Amino acid sequence: MAENKNRNIFEALVNLNENKVISLVTQSVRENKSFDEIMSQLQDALTEIGNRYEKEEYYVPDLIYSGAIMKKAVELLSPLKKDEDKGNKGKVIMGTVYGDVHDIGKDLVVMLLSNAGFEVVDLGTSVEPKKFVEAINENNAKVIGMSCLLTISFGAIANTVKAIEEGGIRNNVSIMVGGAPVSTLVAEKTGCDFYGKDAFAAVKFATDVYAK
C-alpha cells in the first residue's frame, strides 16, 4: 500500500498537481513513512519532468512550478529527516555573475540542488568575482555555479574564472555555468568546466563531482 501511495506522489508531481502532492505527502508524514522512500519518488518525478522538458512537452514555467511544489513538499518532510542528514552531499556556491540581476534560473538550480541533498551557498545576483573566491575559501566547496542571462556579462564569467585562478584555488573547484544565451562554446572560451543546459544538468554535474 505504501509503495502505491508513494507512486501516487510521483504521478501527482509529474502532473503538476500541487494540492494532491501536498495532501499525499502530509498523509505520509502523519503515518511516519520513510523519508528516503518519499524523497525518492519526488526526485524521480523531477527527473521525469526534466525529460519532458527535453522533449518540449514541458516548458520553463513548468520547471519553476514543479520546483516550487517540490520545495513545499520537502518542507513538509522535515519531521522525518534527521538534522545531520541535511546537505550531506557537499557544498555548492551559486550566483548570477556581475552585471546581471536575473535570478529565476539561478533560484531554480539552487532549489533543485538543495532538494537533492546539497548545501547551497546562494550569493545572489550581480556577484563580483572576488565574492565567488571568498565563498569558495570560506566554505571549502568543490563546485561553483554561475548563472548568466545577458550576453554582455560573458566577460564577467571569464573574470570570475580568472579571479579563482589568481586566488590559487582553480584546481580545487569545478565550475559550471548556465543561462539562456550560454553554450558549451561560451563555457569553454571563458574557462569553465561545464555548461549546464538546464537545472537538472547542474544537479547531475555537482553529483558527479562529489562522487569522484
What range defines the domain where residue 136 resides? 87-211
CATH number of the domain to which 149 belongs: 3.40.50.280
* Host H or E run for residue 73: helix 60-77
Do 68 and 132 fall into the same domain?
no
Of 182, 188, 123, 190, nearest to 160 (Cα)?
190
Q: Which residue has the cell 556556491?
A: 93
Do 6 and 70 fall into the same domain?
yes
Which pLDDT score, from 0 to 100, does residue 57 have? 93
DSSP 3-state assignment of 162?
helix
Residue 162 or residue 107, greater confidence: 162
Q: What is the mean pLDDT of residues 127-149?
A: 97
Q: Report the alpha-carbon distance of residue 200 to residue 178 in Å, rounded.
A: 11
The model's pLDDT over 57-83, given as tens digits with 9 standing for 90+, comes to 998 788 888 888 988 888 888 777 654
DSSP 3-state assignment of 185?
helix
Q: How confident is the model at residue 46 (pLDDT cuts 50, 70, 90)?
A: confident
Task: Give the sign of the dihedral formed by CA 14, CA 18, CA 20, CA 24.
Answer: positive
CATH number of the domain to which 29 belongs: 1.10.1240.10
Q: How confident is the model at residue 52 (pLDDT cuts 50, 70, 90)?
A: confident
Do 99 and 204 fall into the same domain?
yes
DSSP 3-state assignment of 176?
strand
Give the domain-ending residue among 41, 57, 84.
84
Q: Note the residue count of the chain.
A: 212
CA separation, residue 93 to residues 73, 127, 211 (Å)? 24, 11, 17
Bridge partners of 119?
Answer: 91
Q: How confident is the model at residue 1 (pLDDT cuts 50, 70, 90)?
A: very low
Average pLDDT over the chain reads 89
Q: Does 10 have pLDDT greater than 90?
A: yes
Q: Report the alpha-carbon distance of residue 129 to residue 7 in Å, rounded.
A: 44
The model's pLDDT over 164-187, given as tens digits with 9 standing for 90+, comes to 999 999 999 999 999 889 999 999
Q: Which residue has the cell 580545487?
A: 172
Q: What is the mean pLDDT of residues 40-58?
A: 84
Q: Which residues contact 46 (CB under 8 A, 6 or more apart)?
A: 13, 66, 67, 70, 112, 115, 200
Domain count, the chain: 2
Q: What is the radius of gyration, based on Cα positions, of the chain?
A: 18
Which pLDDT score, from 0 to 100, does residue 146 have? 98
Q: Does 125 have pLDDT greater than 70?
A: yes
Do 80 and 99 fall into the same domain?
no
Q: How confident is the model at residue 34 (pLDDT cuts 50, 70, 90)?
A: confident
pTM (predicted TM-score) = 0.72
Q: How confident is the model at residue 2 (pLDDT cuts 50, 70, 90)?
A: very low
